[in-house]
Amino acid sequence: MNLLRSAIKSLQKTFRSFRFAIRGIGFVIQYENNTRIHLLASLAAIVAGMLLKLNYIEWTIIITQIVLVWSAEAFNSAIEKIVDFISPEFHPKAGAIKDIAAGAVLFIAMGAAITGLIIFGHKIWILVA
């Protein structure tokens, strides 16, 4: 009986963790302006992938890029919230931390865009040629 109770409590903790994680994703989507751009780009990539009939390797690469960009945006948002909490007033070092985190998102987003151009550009080139 103790084993069953332990398993149930473990499942409850897991579901609670998922609930907190989903709430965090919702927070990023609702309150961060750049997520609207990421959402549109993600949807465009998925629709383009369906229309251009990507193979499983291309899909894996595109989905990985989408997840990387969204993860970077989530980390950036968390870093910004931490910095704002620790340093409510402007401080040059706090600003630098936020700029570096935002730069990381830009770096990943640019890499994702280039990857998308390579994959989708190749597919379109084949269709047009």
Asked if 72 contacts 54 with a C-beta cutoff of 8 angstroms, the reply is no
Residue 25 and residue 65 in one domain:
no
Residue 66 and residue 21 in one domain:
no
Residue 102 and residue 48 in one domain:
yes
**How many distinct structural domains can be found in the chain?**
2
Tell me the C-alpha distance between 97 and 123, whole Å: 39
Judge whether 58 counts as a catalytic residue. no
pTM: 0.86
| Average confidence (pLDDT) per 10 residues, the chain, 129 residues | 79 88 90 89 98 98 98 96 94 96 97 98 94
pLDDT, tens only, 78-96:
999 999 999 999 999 999 9
Residue 38 and residue 94 in one domain:
yes
Q: What is the pLDDT of residue 15?
A: 86
| Count of positions (residues) in the chain | 129
Instruction: Work out the burial of residue 65: count CB atoms within 10 Å of its CB; fewer than 13 is exposed, 13-18 middle, 19 or more buried.
Output: buried
The binding site for a divalent metal cation consists of 32, 80
Residue 11 and residue 60 in one domain:
no
What is the residue-averaged pLDDT of the chain? 93
Gyration radius of the chain's alpha carbons: 20
Residue 45 and residue 68 in one domain:
yes
CATH number at residue 72: 1.10.287.3610
Q: What is the pLDDT of residue 32?
A: 85
Q: What is the pLDDT of residue 1?
A: 65
DSSP class of 53 = T
Domain of 73?
34-128
The binding site for ATP consists of 32, 80, 89-91, 98-99
Residue 101 and residue 56 in one domain:
yes
Residue 24 and residue 54 in one domain:
no
Find the catalytic residue in 73, 83, 105, 120: 73
Residue 87 and residue 63 in one domain:
yes
